Protein backbone atom coordinates (compact mmCIF):
# COMPACT_ATOMS: atom_id res chain seq x y z
CA UNK A 1 0.00 0.00 0.00
CA UNK A 2 1.46 3.38 -0.97
CA UNK A 3 1.91 6.28 1.41
CA UNK A 4 -0.57 8.30 -0.67
CA UNK A 5 -3.22 5.72 0.15
CA UNK A 6 -2.43 5.90 3.83
CA UNK A 7 -2.09 9.68 3.80
CA UNK A 8 -4.33 11.02 1.02
CA UNK A 9 -3.35 14.32 -0.54
CA UNK A 10 -6.93 15.26 -1.29
CA UNK A 11 -10.15 15.07 0.75
CA UNK A 12 -11.40 11.88 -0.91
CA UNK A 13 -10.96 8.63 1.08
CA UNK A 14 -8.59 5.92 -0.16
CA UNK A 15 -10.05 2.69 -1.61
CA UNK A 16 -9.80 0.83 1.71
CA UNK A 17 -11.87 3.38 3.62
CA UNK A 18 -11.47 6.75 5.31
CA UNK A 19 -8.28 7.74 7.11
CA UNK A 20 -8.52 7.82 10.90
CA UNK A 21 -8.22 11.47 11.95
CA UNK A 22 -9.65 10.99 15.44
CA UNK A 23 -6.30 11.73 17.11
CA UNK A 24 -5.52 14.70 14.85
CA UNK A 25 -6.91 17.93 16.36
CA UNK A 26 -4.17 20.18 14.94
CA UNK A 27 -4.51 21.89 11.56
CA UNK A 28 -1.85 23.90 9.78
CA UNK A 29 -3.45 26.06 7.10
CA UNK A 30 -1.14 27.74 4.58
CA UNK A 31 -2.22 29.94 1.68
CA UNK A 32 -0.71 28.96 -1.66
CA UNK A 33 1.67 31.63 -3.08
CA UNK A 34 -0.35 34.16 -1.09
CA UNK A 35 0.77 37.55 -2.43
CA UNK A 36 0.89 36.27 -6.02
CA UNK A 37 -2.53 34.62 -5.68
CA UNK A 38 -4.07 37.85 -4.39
CA UNK A 39 -2.55 39.79 -7.30
CA UNK A 40 -4.06 37.32 -9.80
CA UNK A 41 -7.53 38.21 -8.55
CA UNK A 42 -7.11 41.55 -10.36
CA UNK A 43 -5.09 40.04 -13.24
CA UNK A 44 -6.87 36.79 -14.20
CA UNK A 45 -5.24 36.87 -17.63
CA UNK A 46 -1.92 36.00 -15.91
CA UNK A 47 -3.19 32.73 -14.44
CA UNK A 48 -1.07 29.79 -15.52
CA UNK A 49 1.94 32.02 -16.24
CA UNK A 50 5.07 32.84 -14.20
CA UNK A 51 4.32 35.80 -11.90
CA UNK A 52 6.67 37.32 -9.32
CA UNK A 53 5.66 39.80 -6.62
CA UNK A 54 8.46 42.02 -5.40
CA UNK A 55 10.28 45.28 -5.85
CA UNK A 56 12.15 45.80 -9.09
CA UNK A 57 15.19 47.79 -7.98
CA UNK A 58 18.79 46.62 -7.84
CA UNK A 59 18.43 45.51 -4.22
CA UNK A 60 14.87 44.21 -4.50
CA UNK A 61 13.87 40.72 -3.38
CA UNK A 62 11.12 38.27 -4.29
CA UNK A 63 8.18 38.33 -1.88
CA UNK A 64 6.06 35.68 -3.61
CA UNK A 65 5.96 33.73 -6.85
CA UNK A 66 3.41 31.57 -8.61
CA UNK A 67 4.17 27.88 -8.94
CA UNK A 68 4.82 28.43 -12.65
CA UNK A 69 7.70 30.73 -11.66
CA UNK A 70 8.88 28.38 -8.93
CA UNK A 71 9.46 25.66 -11.51
CA UNK A 72 12.31 27.82 -12.81
CA UNK A 73 13.86 28.00 -9.33
CA UNK A 74 12.35 31.32 -8.20
CA UNK A 75 11.61 31.47 -4.48
CA UNK A 76 10.84 34.06 -1.82
CA UNK A 77 13.77 36.14 -0.48
CA UNK A 78 15.69 35.58 -3.73
CA UNK A 79 17.32 38.74 -5.15
CA UNK A 80 15.09 40.09 -7.90
CA UNK A 81 18.04 40.39 -10.29
CA UNK A 82 18.60 36.63 -10.05
CA UNK A 83 14.87 35.85 -10.34
CA UNK A 84 14.65 37.90 -13.56
CA UNK A 85 17.73 36.15 -14.90
CA UNK A 86 16.47 32.60 -14.36
CA UNK A 87 12.87 33.39 -15.33
CA UNK A 88 12.96 36.33 -17.79
CA UNK A 89 9.45 35.61 -19.07
CA UNK A 90 7.88 36.25 -15.66
CA UNK A 91 5.56 39.20 -15.04
CA UNK A 92 6.86 41.22 -12.07
CA UNK A 93 4.25 43.01 -9.96
CA UNK A 94 5.06 45.58 -7.23
CA UNK A 95 3.58 44.56 -3.85
CA UNK A 96 0.34 46.00 -2.46
CA UNK A 97 0.63 45.33 1.25
CA UNK A 98 -2.64 46.96 2.28
CA UNK A 99 -4.52 44.62 -0.04
CA UNK A 100 -2.73 41.56 1.36
CA UNK A 101 -3.51 42.69 4.91
CA UNK A 102 -7.20 42.99 4.05
CA UNK A 103 -7.39 39.49 2.54
CA UNK A 104 -5.36 38.09 5.44
CA UNK A 105 -7.79 39.57 7.93
CA UNK A 106 -10.69 37.93 6.10
CA UNK A 107 -8.97 34.55 6.06
CA UNK A 108 -8.20 34.76 9.78
CA UNK A 109 -11.85 35.56 10.43
CA UNK A 110 -12.77 32.25 8.76
CA UNK A 111 -10.37 30.44 11.10
CA UNK A 112 -11.71 32.19 14.21
CA UNK A 113 -15.28 31.31 13.27
CA UNK A 114 -14.21 27.66 13.51
CA UNK A 115 -12.29 27.86 16.80
CA UNK A 116 -10.86 30.51 19.13
CA UNK A 117 -7.68 28.40 19.27
CA UNK A 118 -5.93 30.07 16.31
CA UNK A 119 -2.20 30.81 16.29
CA UNK A 120 -1.21 32.94 13.29
CA UNK A 121 2.37 32.31 12.15
CA UNK A 122 2.33 34.91 9.38
CA UNK A 123 -0.23 36.79 7.35
CA UNK A 124 -0.82 33.68 5.23
CA UNK A 125 -0.64 30.75 7.65
CA UNK A 126 -1.87 29.62 11.04
CA UNK A 127 -2.22 26.67 13.37
CA UNK A 128 -5.70 25.73 14.60
CA UNK A 129 -6.67 23.38 17.41
CA UNK A 130 -10.10 22.09 16.37
CA UNK A 131 -10.49 19.59 19.21
CA UNK A 132 -13.28 21.64 20.75
CA UNK A 133 -15.05 22.19 17.42
CA UNK A 134 -15.53 18.54 16.49
CA UNK A 135 -18.93 18.09 18.10
CA UNK A 136 -20.26 21.17 16.31
CA UNK A 137 -18.52 20.92 12.92
CA UNK A 138 -17.43 17.31 12.44
CA UNK A 139 -14.09 15.55 12.15
CA UNK A 140 -10.79 17.45 11.72
CA UNK A 141 -10.63 16.44 8.05
CA UNK A 142 -14.19 17.66 7.50
CA UNK A 143 -13.33 20.97 9.17
CA UNK A 144 -10.24 21.26 6.95
CA UNK A 145 -12.39 20.70 3.84
CA UNK A 146 -14.83 23.36 5.03
CA UNK A 147 -12.03 25.88 5.61
CA UNK A 148 -10.55 25.28 2.17
CA UNK A 149 -13.97 25.73 0.54
CA UNK A 150 -14.70 28.95 2.42
CA UNK A 151 -11.30 30.48 1.63
CA UNK A 152 -11.81 29.71 -2.07
CA UNK A 153 -15.41 30.94 -2.11
CA UNK A 154 -14.93 34.16 -0.15
CA UNK A 155 -11.48 35.22 -1.30
CA UNK A 156 -10.83 33.41 -4.58
CA UNK A 157 -7.52 31.88 -3.46
CA UNK A 158 -6.46 28.38 -2.46
CA UNK A 159 -4.85 26.98 0.66
CA UNK A 160 -3.24 23.73 1.71
CA UNK A 161 -4.05 22.06 5.03
CA UNK A 162 -2.10 19.55 7.08
CA UNK A 163 -4.08 17.59 9.70
CA UNK A 164 -2.11 15.81 12.41
CA UNK A 165 -1.64 15.12 16.10
CA UNK A 166 1.07 17.79 16.58
CA UNK A 167 1.98 21.20 15.20
CA UNK A 168 5.25 19.96 13.76
CA UNK A 169 3.70 17.12 11.76
CA UNK A 170 0.74 19.27 10.65
CA UNK A 171 3.11 21.85 9.18
CA UNK A 172 5.10 19.20 7.35
CA UNK A 173 1.85 17.74 6.00
CA UNK A 174 0.65 21.06 4.59
CA UNK A 175 4.00 21.51 2.87
CA UNK A 176 3.81 18.00 1.39
CA UNK A 177 0.39 18.55 -0.18
CA UNK A 178 1.01 21.97 -1.76
CA UNK A 179 -0.50 23.48 -3.76
CA UNK A 180 -4.24 23.27 -3.08
CA UNK A 181 -4.16 20.03 -1.11
CA UNK A 182 -5.23 18.38 2.12
CA UNK A 183 -3.13 15.77 3.88
CA UNK A 184 -4.10 13.79 6.99
CA UNK A 185 -1.34 12.07 8.96
CA UNK A 186 -3.05 9.62 11.35
CA UNK A 187 -1.61 9.57 14.85
CA UNK A 188 -0.51 5.95 14.49
CA UNK A 189 1.23 6.61 11.13
CA UNK A 190 3.42 9.55 12.15
CA UNK A 191 6.68 7.58 12.14
CA UNK A 192 5.80 6.05 8.76
CA UNK A 193 5.26 9.59 7.40
CA UNK A 194 8.37 11.14 8.94
CA UNK A 195 11.16 8.63 8.47
CA UNK A 196 11.45 8.72 4.64
CA UNK A 197 11.73 12.53 4.65
CA UNK A 198 15.11 14.26 4.21
CA UNK A 199 16.62 15.34 7.50
CA UNK A 200 16.43 18.98 6.36
CA UNK A 201 12.64 18.78 6.78
CA UNK A 202 13.03 18.97 10.57
CA UNK A 203 12.64 22.30 12.34
CA UNK A 204 16.03 23.46 13.53
CA UNK A 205 18.01 21.88 10.69
CA UNK A 206 19.58 24.71 8.75
CA UNK A 207 22.21 24.41 6.06
CA UNK A 208 25.13 23.99 8.46
CA UNK A 209 23.37 21.46 10.68
CA UNK A 210 22.31 19.49 7.61
CA UNK A 211 25.90 19.38 6.37
CA UNK A 212 27.11 18.19 9.78
CA UNK A 213 24.43 15.46 9.85
CA UNK A 214 25.27 14.30 6.32
CA UNK A 215 28.95 14.04 7.31
CA UNK A 216 27.79 11.62 10.00
CA UNK A 217 25.88 9.59 7.41
CA UNK A 218 22.47 10.93 8.50
CA UNK A 219 20.42 11.83 5.45
CA UNK A 220 16.82 11.01 6.35
CA UNK A 221 14.69 11.49 9.44
CA UNK A 222 14.73 7.70 9.80
CA UNK A 223 18.54 7.72 9.91
CA UNK A 224 18.40 10.36 12.62
CA UNK A 225 15.86 8.39 14.64
CA UNK A 226 18.31 5.49 14.95
CA UNK A 227 21.02 7.64 16.57
CA UNK A 228 20.87 7.62 20.40
CA UNK A 229 19.59 10.92 21.82
CA UNK A 230 22.68 11.15 24.05
CA UNK A 231 24.93 11.00 20.97
CA UNK A 232 22.99 13.74 19.22
CA UNK A 233 23.07 15.90 22.32
CA UNK A 234 26.82 15.42 22.62
CA UNK A 235 27.34 16.40 18.98
CA UNK A 236 24.82 19.24 18.72
CA UNK A 237 23.98 20.30 22.27
CA UNK A 238 20.36 21.24 23.03
CA UNK A 239 19.53 21.13 19.33
CA UNK A 240 20.43 17.44 19.30
CA UNK A 241 17.85 16.59 21.97
CA UNK A 242 15.27 18.64 20.07
CA UNK A 243 15.98 16.77 16.82
CA UNK A 244 15.84 13.40 18.54
CA UNK A 245 12.31 14.17 19.77
CA UNK A 246 11.12 15.45 16.39
CA UNK A 247 12.48 12.39 14.59
CA UNK A 248 9.89 10.31 16.48
CA UNK A 249 7.11 12.89 16.03
CA UNK A 250 7.24 14.18 19.60
CA UNK A 251 6.18 17.84 19.84
CA UNK A 252 4.60 19.02 23.08
CA UNK A 253 3.83 22.58 21.97
CA UNK A 254 0.21 23.66 22.08
CA UNK A 255 -1.63 26.03 19.79
CA UNK A 256 -1.40 29.41 21.51
CA UNK A 257 -3.70 32.20 20.23
CA UNK A 258 -1.35 34.89 19.04
CA UNK A 259 -1.12 38.22 20.82
CA UNK A 260 -2.14 41.24 18.72
CA UNK A 261 0.52 42.92 16.61
CA UNK A 262 2.72 45.15 18.71
CA UNK A 263 3.94 47.19 15.77
CA UNK A 264 3.48 47.72 12.04
CA UNK A 265 6.27 49.07 9.86
CA UNK A 266 7.84 49.29 6.42
CA UNK A 267 11.35 50.08 5.34
CA UNK A 268 13.14 50.90 2.10
CA UNK A 269 16.63 49.98 0.88
CA UNK A 270 17.72 52.48 -1.76
CA UNK A 271 19.32 51.21 -4.99
CA UNK A 272 22.09 53.74 -4.29
CA UNK A 273 23.06 55.49 -1.06
CA UNK A 274 21.18 58.81 -0.72
CA UNK A 275 22.15 62.04 1.04
CA UNK A 276 19.49 64.37 -0.39
CA UNK A 277 17.06 65.41 2.41
CA UNK A 278 14.23 65.98 -0.09
CA UNK A 279 14.58 62.43 -1.38
CA UNK A 280 14.68 61.05 2.16
CA UNK A 281 11.54 62.97 3.14
CA UNK A 282 9.76 61.77 0.02
CA UNK A 283 10.59 58.20 1.01
CA UNK A 284 9.41 58.82 4.57
CA UNK A 285 6.12 60.02 3.09
CA UNK A 286 5.73 56.91 0.95
CA UNK A 287 6.49 54.65 3.93
CA UNK A 288 4.12 56.61 6.18
CA UNK A 289 1.36 56.16 3.60
CA UNK A 290 1.96 52.40 3.53
CA UNK A 291 2.12 52.04 7.31
CA UNK A 292 -1.07 54.06 7.75
CA UNK A 293 -2.87 51.97 5.12
CA UNK A 294 -1.81 48.77 6.90
CA UNK A 295 -2.99 50.18 10.23
CA UNK A 296 -6.41 50.98 8.80
CA UNK A 297 -6.65 47.61 7.00
CA UNK A 298 -5.89 45.82 10.26
CA UNK A 299 -8.20 47.97 12.36
CA UNK A 300 -5.36 49.41 14.46
CA UNK A 301 -4.11 52.80 15.58
CA UNK A 302 -0.73 53.48 17.18
CA UNK A 303 0.77 55.99 19.57
CA UNK A 304 4.52 55.71 19.00
CA UNK A 305 6.22 56.67 15.74
CA UNK A 306 9.68 55.22 15.14
CA UNK A 307 12.11 55.87 12.30
CA UNK A 308 15.04 53.68 11.29
CA UNK A 309 18.02 55.27 9.52
CA UNK A 310 20.90 53.13 8.25
CA UNK A 311 24.05 54.86 7.09
CA UNK A 312 26.21 53.72 4.18
CA UNK A 313 28.58 52.01 6.66
CA UNK A 314 25.60 49.95 7.97
CA UNK A 315 25.45 51.87 11.24
CA UNK A 316 21.76 51.96 12.20
CA UNK A 317 20.10 54.71 14.23
CA UNK A 318 16.52 54.61 15.51
CA UNK A 319 14.49 57.46 16.97
CA UNK A 320 10.94 57.35 18.34
CA UNK A 321 8.30 59.65 19.78
CA UNK A 322 5.03 58.88 21.54
CA UNK A 323 2.09 60.97 20.36
CA UNK A 324 -0.54 62.49 22.58
CA UNK A 325 -3.21 60.36 20.90
CA UNK A 326 -3.12 57.20 18.82
CA UNK A 327 -3.46 57.63 15.06
CA UNK A 328 -3.73 55.84 11.73
CA UNK A 329 -3.34 59.02 9.66
CA UNK A 330 -0.37 59.08 7.27
CA UNK A 331 0.11 62.85 7.52
CA UNK A 332 0.55 62.70 11.29
CA UNK A 333 2.95 59.77 10.99
CA UNK A 334 4.90 61.53 8.23
CA UNK A 335 5.18 64.85 10.09
CA UNK A 336 6.54 63.07 13.15
CA UNK A 337 8.91 60.96 11.05
CA UNK A 338 10.40 64.06 9.45
CA UNK A 339 10.90 65.67 12.85
CA UNK A 340 12.69 62.55 14.08
CA UNK A 341 14.86 62.46 10.95
CA UNK A 342 15.86 66.08 11.44
CA UNK A 343 16.53 65.55 15.14
CA UNK A 344 18.89 62.66 14.33
CA UNK A 345 21.24 65.11 12.61
CA UNK A 346 21.62 62.98 9.46
CA UNK A 347 20.22 65.37 6.87
CA UNK A 348 23.48 65.42 4.88
CA UNK A 349 24.64 61.89 5.70
CA UNK A 350 24.49 59.17 3.06
CA UNK A 351 21.79 56.63 3.90
CA UNK A 352 21.19 53.19 2.42
CA UNK A 353 17.92 52.43 4.24
CA UNK A 354 15.08 54.26 5.96
CA UNK A 355 12.09 52.81 7.80
CA UNK A 356 8.91 53.96 9.52
CA UNK A 357 7.16 51.96 12.24
CA UNK A 358 4.12 52.47 14.46
CA UNK A 359 4.21 50.93 17.94
CA UNK A 360 1.94 50.76 21.00
CA UNK A 361 -0.97 49.59 18.86
CA UNK A 362 -4.55 49.36 20.07
CA UNK A 363 -7.79 48.49 18.24
CA UNK A 364 -9.12 51.51 16.38
CA UNK A 365 -12.56 50.86 17.88
CA UNK A 366 -11.11 51.36 21.37
CA UNK A 367 -9.49 54.71 20.55
CA UNK A 368 -11.18 57.99 21.29
CA UNK A 369 -10.15 61.33 19.95
CA UNK A 370 -10.59 64.38 22.16
CA UNK A 371 -10.65 67.74 20.41
CA UNK A 372 -9.25 70.69 22.31
CA UNK A 373 -11.27 73.86 22.83
CA UNK A 374 -11.65 75.51 19.44
CA UNK A 375 -9.82 72.67 17.66
CA UNK A 376 -11.37 71.49 14.40
CA UNK A 377 -11.21 68.14 12.66
CA UNK A 378 -8.63 68.23 9.85
CA UNK A 379 -10.38 65.78 7.53
CA UNK A 380 -7.14 63.89 6.81
CA UNK A 381 -8.47 60.58 8.10
CA UNK A 382 -11.57 60.77 5.90
CA UNK A 383 -9.43 61.70 2.88
CA UNK A 384 -7.11 58.77 3.45
CA UNK A 385 -10.01 56.39 3.90
CA UNK A 386 -11.28 57.55 0.52
CA UNK A 387 -7.81 56.82 -0.90
CA UNK A 388 -8.05 53.31 0.56
CA UNK A 389 -11.32 52.74 -1.28
CA UNK A 390 -9.86 54.01 -4.54
CA UNK A 391 -6.79 51.80 -4.15
CA UNK A 392 -8.93 48.71 -3.58
CA UNK A 393 -10.97 49.43 -6.68
CA UNK A 394 -8.42 50.88 -9.11
CA UNK A 395 -5.03 49.76 -7.77
CA UNK A 396 -2.40 51.19 -5.40
CA UNK A 397 -1.34 54.01 -7.71
CA UNK A 398 -4.83 55.38 -8.35
CA UNK A 399 -4.44 58.17 -5.78
CA UNK A 400 -1.23 59.33 -4.14
CA UNK A 401 0.35 62.52 -2.76
CA UNK A 402 1.60 64.80 -5.53
CA UNK A 403 5.21 64.53 -4.37
CA UNK A 404 5.11 60.77 -4.98
CA UNK A 405 3.80 60.95 -8.54
CA UNK A 406 7.30 61.19 -9.98
CA UNK A 407 10.01 59.25 -8.19
CA UNK A 408 13.66 58.79 -9.13
CA UNK A 409 13.55 55.06 -8.30
CA UNK A 410 11.07 52.29 -7.71
CA UNK A 411 10.18 50.52 -4.47
CA UNK A 412 12.75 48.03 -3.23
CA UNK A 413 11.15 46.08 -0.43
CA UNK A 414 8.42 45.86 2.17
φ, ψ at 83 (rounded to 5°): -60, -45
Residues ≥6 apart with Cβ < 8 Å to 348: 275, 277
Distances (CA, A) of 342 to 268, 270, 281, 338, 339: 18, 19, 10, 6, 5
| Rounded Cα gap, residues 129 and 118, in angstroms | 7
Per 3-state DSSP, what percentage of the chain is helix, strand, and coil (rounded to 5)? 45, 20, 35
Catalytic pick from 125, 268, 289, 332?
125
Residue 213 host element (H or E):
helix 207-215
- Which is it for strands 182-184 and 159-164: parallel, antiparallel or unpaired? parallel
Say whether 188 counts as a known binding-site residue: no
| Rounded Cα gap, residues 261 and 279, in angstroms | 30
Q: Please, are residues 261 and 298 in contact by the beta-carbon 8 Å criterion? A: yes
CA 184 to chain centre: 24
Q: Please, are residues 21 and 139 in contact by the beta-carbon 8 Å criterion? A: yes
Say whether 30 counts as a known binding-site residue: yes
Q: Please, are residues 186 and 141 in contact by the beta-carbon 8 Å criterion? A: no
| Rounded Cα gap, residues 313 and 26, in angstroms | 46
| Rounded Cα gap, residues 291 and 69, in angstroms | 29
Query: What is the strand order of the sheet 263-274 is part of?
Result: 263-274, 351-363, 300-311, 316-327
Residue 364 host element (H or E):
none
The verdict on whether 210 is a catalytic residue reads no
Distances (CA, A) of 176 to 182, 193, 246: 9, 10, 17
Residues annotated in a binding site for Mg(2+) = 30, 124
Residues annotated in a binding site = 30, 124
User: So which residues are the catalytic ones?
Assistant: 125
Amino acid sequence: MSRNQLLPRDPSPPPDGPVDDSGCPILHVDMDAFYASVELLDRPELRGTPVIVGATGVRGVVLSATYEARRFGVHSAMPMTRARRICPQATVIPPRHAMYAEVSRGVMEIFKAVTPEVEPIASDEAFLDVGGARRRLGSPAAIARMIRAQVAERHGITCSVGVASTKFVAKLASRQCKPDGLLVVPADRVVEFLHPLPVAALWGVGERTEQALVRLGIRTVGDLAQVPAATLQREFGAVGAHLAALAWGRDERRVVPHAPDKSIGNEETFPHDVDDPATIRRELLRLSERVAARLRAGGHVGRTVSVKLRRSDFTTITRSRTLREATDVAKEIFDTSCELYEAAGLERVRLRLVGVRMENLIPAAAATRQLGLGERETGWREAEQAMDRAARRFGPDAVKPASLVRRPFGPIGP
